[in-house]
Structure 1
Amino acid sequence: MYYNGRHYPSWLARFTNISGPSACFQPINLVKLKLSNCKNLEKLPTLGHYPNLKILEVEGLNNVRCIGKEFYVSDDDSSSDKNKPITLFPALEKLSLWNMEEEWLEVEPTVTVFPSLKELHIEGCCKLSSVPRMSRLSCLEALTITGNNALSCIGDEQFPFPSSLKKLTIQRCYKLTTVPSVEGGISFLQHLEVKLCERLCKIGQGLLTSTCLRVVVICDCPNLISIPVYGISESLVKLELDHCRGLREVEGALSAFTRLETLRIGNCLNLIPIPLPSLDFFSSLILLSLEGCHRLTSLPSGLRSCTCLQFLVVDYCTDLESIPEDLGRLHSLKELCILSCQNLKSVPEDSLRCLTRLKTLKLGPFSQELDEFPGLSSIHHLHSSLEILTLNGWEKLCSLPYQLQHLAALKYLIISGFDGVTTLPEWLRNLSSLQDLTIDFCRNLEHLPSKGATYRLSNIQHLSITNCPRLKGDRTYISNRFKIPANQIEVYEH
């Protein structure tokens, strides 16, 4: 509801014994209530006695400074027989708070509150310094807290998370220092996600011991030093560790998680060595991503065992020197990215021959010592499958790899960093399916292919040429050369 009054409407707060058609409008029958942008409202209404309310959403009540006692029970109710058991919000299953202020107070421990609550979502409540004891929410299955600048702790050893919890998401809680351990674990926890918590230095081991745990994502927590994975269930299917620059140790071997389908380790600069000596038992792995692992000199052994692998990303691993022959055994691979590995000198020349399902290939730049692009000798075997190709070159390369001319199914081509190239080759005409061509940072490029070649590229829909300062001709010239409208061409110099 949108409401400009200072107080909650009395007709919604009052219960009567009206019968007949009007009864359906009584709050006793209310199932869902949304209070949104009621900017003049000074305090939350008393809603704890709504017997059928299942969904409550509260958003942008800027004048409400505290979720206090009145939210749960009225003064009249609190002055009644104190020996009589009270249950507040008896049917509420989902509670969402957005952009609320400062405090959230609890009711007396003897009062039963939120006995049916399954989902609690708190977002953008920047000054909220505490939340109710999670242990009181005995049916809670999903907890999300995001965008909070004041909360330093969620739960504690004495009042831990309820055992019913299945999904825990914590994001952008900048003062949060610890997510406490839970003795005995959380039996049903399936999904744990912690992101952008700058001061977080500890995740309790008990959180990670659920036998149901399937997803663990921990990203952008620069002060986190270690992660205890030795108790994680073998049922884990997704593990992501990214941008945790203080992370020095993963306590336990990742090789135990043989059911993993997604494994991503990225930009954990102090994590030495990578806790993955072998891939021998990862037959279920679908995505493997290693990014910013600067001390990684070779990929883990046993790559050939990843028979289901569809996506392999190796990016900005500056000490990587070679790619194993096993690469050619990944027959299910759909996307291969090996990027910004400046010490890489060797890619098996025959590795692409058997990757006949490959649709996306992104390579380079590699070692400046190489005078030709490695690993492309067998790329012609991908002539009917490869649709997206990105090649990032380096100064020593004087020509584009001629092997590309066989890629008849190619739709998107990005060429970048080939400073030694002065003229685009005539064989570009053979890329008859090409729809999008991007040429970037080829600083010595002067000439485009002839009209006879460019006119053959009849499916081109978009052309981008940027940072090629020596290229002759303006947008109109390029439009005429490729026979496509000028508004489908981008030409920029920086």
Structure 2
Amino acid sequence: MAQFHSISQCLHSISKTDWLGKAKESSSQTSVLHCPRRMKIEGFKGTEAFPEWLGNLSSLKRLFLPITGGCSSLEKLRIVGCEKLSKIGDGLSTSTCLKELDLDICPDLSSIPNLEGFSSLQYLSVRWCKKLEVLPITGGCSSLEKLCIFDCEKLSKIGDGLSTSTCLKELDLDDCPDLSSIPNLEGFSSLQDLSVRRCVKLEVLPITGGCSSLEKLRICDCEKLSKIGDGLSTSTCLKELDLDDCPDLSSIPNLEGFSSLQYLSVRRCDKLEVLPITAPLSSLKKMLIGDCPNLRPIPSLDGLSSLTELEFEKVGEGWSHLLPNMLQSNVSLCSLTILNIPDLIWIQDDSLGRLNCLRELAIGGFSEELQEFPWLSSIQYLSASLLVLKLTGWEKLKSLPHQLQFFTALEELTIEGFQGVEAFPEWLGNLSSLKRLYLSGFGKLKSLPHQLHLPSTLEELTIDSFHEIEALPDSFRNLSSLECLSIQFCDKLMYLPSVDVMRSLSRLIAMSIKGCPLLEPRCERESGPEWSKISHLPLVLINDWR
């Protein structure tokens, strides 16, 4: 039978460094253990904390922590990176002076002792314990302030005793796919931050009242979540509300009197019909509404005097009617996104001209009946201030808006979805400050002109979904500042610019090619006919989807 290494056998070697946490740890402590394969730790009744170097024993195959009782002074227990740890002794239940418990990367740990009467416990973190099924909080954890559970695949239950931990300030549940319910959160008057993400079986978030200090609520990727407890209506101190990817969520509690709300994001909530929030929202700085096809417009959005970022994308009918008043009354906007609103046909032409603070603008994807973009006359007033512009077209548009040529301050430009465009305008080269250019979705463009004039200031260029082009032109020679070139989803593309042109791009350091079935084999290392054009580059990624 294999001999167990016991910490007590090495006591004479490490006692001078006082590994009980009363002096600094020595970097040589692990060397005295001679790389044990099995370890048993026992007999340290006065221990206050286990040393961090336990996680550095790379040869360890099995680790037992037979805490059988009597560790009455233990305040901190951290077990990190013990991949073979399967059991913690039941005696841990007697360590009721414990203040911090951190279990991290213990994939074989399937259970832990009951945490009942741990009145001193303040911090509890369980992460990457993939076999753990129950977190046995059975009551009496009255001092618990922070609970974090992350990536516990089989966790299906959190002990009902959590309901007594009303001093909790932060609760973070992330990536627990088997967790279908959590204890009631009633009277949690200290709770400030509540985050629930990727808990795909969770059906109800039981906020039943008394969470008067709640400031941040984030619920993301909870596919079965259908209800948020009505007690949320009492959390009028809320500053951030983020609801994302909750397709079964059909309603949320009334949010009347939430005058402290600064950040509101509701995205990909397919069944949500009403957002019961009322003015005044004088503190609201960011409002993001997207991919909610059934969500009806908020009746009144007056008084949004602090709004700096507004996003409406893929929303249902009626939202476009809110835009005129919102744009007129929110001259402090710095970022504006209005994308894929099919009922948007017209809006008064001077709406954007008043937005002197606007630095980022994304517009497009409007009614298929429109022959040109709205706001084109007023958009010119932004030419000296706008830094980032995203333009999304539609089938009937046959050319790019010529007003773009006046945007001399623009640093980043995305142009996508102009399926009807058959030629690029010469004025693209006039954008003298442009550093990043993303071109996507020019499905009918059969070739890029040999005299294509792009700004020499470009540092990043992406060419995406040019389905008909076969070659990139030698006019790329003028891209003297180019550092990164990305080419993707170009079905017929076979040829890069010539060797001389590619090697003249002295600042080019990275190139990515993916989703290009004809070009990829031609760029194979050493053997591809296009390889000599890019072999000198420090980084070449071919069909890399990371």
Q: TM-score category by the smaller chain?
A: 0.7 to 0.9
Indicate whether 1:40 and 2:32 are aligned: no
Please say if residues 31 and 53 of structure 1, whose CA atoms lie closer than 8 Å, have aligned partners that are also in contact: no
Please give the alpha-carbon distance, in whole angstroms, between the structure 2 residues aligned to 1:326 and 1:230.
28
Q: 2:264 aligns with which of 255, 265, 288?
A: 288
Q: 1:113 aligns with which of 84, 89, 95?
A: 95
Secondary structure, counterpart of 1:202 in structure 2: coil
Written as runs of structure 1 = structure 2, the 5 A alignment for 1:187-202 is: 187-202=166-181
1:213–1:383 distance in 2 versus 1, CA, 3 Å: farther
Indicate whether 1:214 and 2:166 are aligned: no
Question: What do the CA deviations read for 1:319-366 (whole angstroms, capped 9, x no partner)?
Answer: 357687848x64434433333447677262564455554444444233
Secondary structure, counterpart of 2:474 in structure 1: helix
Please say if residues 129 and 152 of structure 2, whose CA atoms lie closer than 8 Å, have aligned partners that are also in contact: yes
Residue 468 (structure 1) shift:
1.4
The one-letter code matched in structure 1 to 2:288 is V
Please give the alpha-carbon distance, in whole angstroms, between the structure 2 residues aligned to 1:375 and 1:229.
44
Please give the alpha-carbon distance, in whole angstroms, between the structure 2 residues aligned to 1:212 and 1:334.
30
Please say if residues 234 and 257 of structure 1, whose CA atoms lie closer than 8 Å, have aligned partners that are also in contact: yes
Please give the alpha-carbon distance, in whole angstroms, between the structure 2 residues aligned to 1:52 and 1:163.
21
Q: Percent identity?
A: 27
Aligned counterpart, 1:422: 422
The one-letter code matched in structure 2 to 1:308 is S
Residue 253 (structure 1) shift:
5.4
Q: 1:177 aligns with which of 156, 163, 181?
A: 156
Indicate whether 1:476 and 2:474 are aligned: yes
TM-align CA RMSD: 3.8
Indicate whether 1:256 and 2:234 are aligned: yes
Please give the alpha-carbon distance, in whole angstroms, between the structure 2 residues aligned to 1:450 and 1:475.
5
Q: 1:204 aligns with which of 160, 169, 183?
A: 183
1:292–1:53 distance in 2 versus 1, CA, 3 Å: closer
Aligned counterpart, 2:339: 364
Written as runs of structure 1 = structure 2, the 5 A alignment for 1:45-60 is: 45-46=41-42, 48-50=44-46, 53=49, 56=52, 58-59=54-55
Please give the alpha-carbon distance, in whole angstroms, between the structure 2 residues aligned to 1:326 and 1:375.
22
1:440–1:178 distance in 2 versus 1, CA, 3 Å: same
Aligned counterpart, 2:165: 186
Residue 306 (structure 1) shift:
2.8
Indicate whether 1:490 and 2:486 are aligned: yes
Number of matched pairs? 455
Residue 400 (structure 1) shift:
3.9
Secondary structure, counterpart of 1:189 in structure 2: coil
Aligned counterpart, 2:496: none
Residue 375 (structure 1) shift:
6.9
> Where do 5+ consecutive residues of structure 1 fail to align?
16-21, 74-85
The one-letter code matched in structure 2 to 1:474 is L
Aligned counterpart, 2:112: 131
Please say if residues 209 and 234 of structure 2, whose CA atoms lie closer than 8 Å, have aligned partners that are also in contact: no
Please give the alpha-carbon distance, in whole angstroms, between the structure 2 residues aligned to 1:120 and 1:7.
25
Q: 1:335 aligns with which of 296, 309, 317?
A: 309
Aligned counterpart, 1:19: none
Indicate whether 1:93 and 2:80 are aligned: no
Secondary structure, counterpart of 2:310 in structure 1: strand
1:100–1:310 distance in 2 versus 1, CA, 3 Å: farther
Residue 263 (structure 1) shift:
0.6
Please give the alpha-carbon distance, in whole angstroms, between the structure 2 residues aligned to 1:443 and 1:254.
48
1:246–1:191 distance in 2 versus 1, CA, 3 Å: same
> Where do 5+ consecutive residues of structure 2 fail to align?
343-366, 492-546
Please give the alpha-carbon distance, in whole angstroms, between the structure 2 residues aligned to 1:439 and 1:408.
18
Please give the alpha-carbon distance, in whole angstroms, between the structure 1 residues aligned to 2:43 and 2:176.
33
1:52–1:224 distance in 2 versus 1, CA, 3 Å: closer
Written as runs of structure 1 = structure 2, the 5 A alignment for 1:230-309 is: 230-252=208-230, 254-273=232-251, 275=252, 281-296=257-272, 300=276, 302=278, 305-309=280-284
The one-letter code matched in structure 2 to 1:25 is T
Aligned counterpart, 1:165: 144
Please give the alpha-carbon distance, in whole angstroms, between the structure 2 residues aligned to 1:439 and 1:323.
35
Secondary structure, counterpart of 1:263 in structure 2: strand
Residue 428 (structure 1) shift:
4.2
Please say if residues 350 and 378 of structure 1, whose CA atoms lie closer than 8 Å, have aligned partners that are also in contact: no
Question: What do the CA deviations read for 1:347-398 (whole angstroms, capped 9, x no partner)?
Answer: 6256445555444444423325452556777555555554333333333444
1:45–1:385 distance in 2 versus 1, CA, 3 Å: farther
The one-letter code matched in structure 2 to 1:40 is P
Q: Which moved more, 1:100-109 or 1:196-205?
A: 100-109
Q: 1:229 aligns with which of 207, 231, 238?
A: 207
Written as runs of structure 1 = structure 2, the 5 A alignment for 1:302-317 is: 302=278, 305-317=280-292
Q: Which moved more, 1:435-444 or 1:314-323?
A: 314-323
Residue 213 (structure 1) shift:
0.2
Please say if residues 4 and 40 of structure 2, whose CA atoms lie closer than 8 Å, have aligned partners that are also in contact: no
1:197–1:375 distance in 2 versus 1, CA, 3 Å: farther
Please give the alpha-carbon distance, in whole angstroms, between the structure 2 residues aligned to 1:118 and 1:253.
30
The one-letter code matched in structure 2 to 1:469 is H
Please give the alpha-carbon distance, in whole angstroms, between the structure 2 residues aligned to 1:208 and 1:391.
47
Bigger RCO (CA 8 Å, 6+ sep): 1
Please give the alpha-carbon distance, in whole angstroms, between the structure 1 residues aligned to 2:280 and 2:429.
39
1:204–1:253 distance in 2 versus 1, CA, 3 Å: closer
The one-letter code matched in structure 2 to 1:96 is I
Please give the alpha-carbon distance, in whole angstroms, between the structure 1 residues aligned to 2:169 and 2:407.
44
Secondary structure, counterpart of 2:167 in structure 1: coil
1:446–1:221 distance in 2 versus 1, CA, 3 Å: same
1:225–1:27 distance in 2 versus 1, CA, 3 Å: closer
Written as runs of structure 1 = structure 2, the 5 A alignment for 1:391-430 is: 391-401=391-401, 404=404, 407-425=407-425, 428=428
1:421–1:149 distance in 2 versus 1, CA, 3 Å: same
Please give the alpha-carbon distance, in whole angstroms, between the structure 2 residues aligned to 1:342 and 1:445.
32
Please say if residues 459 and 482 of structure 2, whose CA atoms lie closer than 8 Å, have aligned partners that are also in contact: no
Secondary structure, counterpart of 1:230 in structure 2: strand
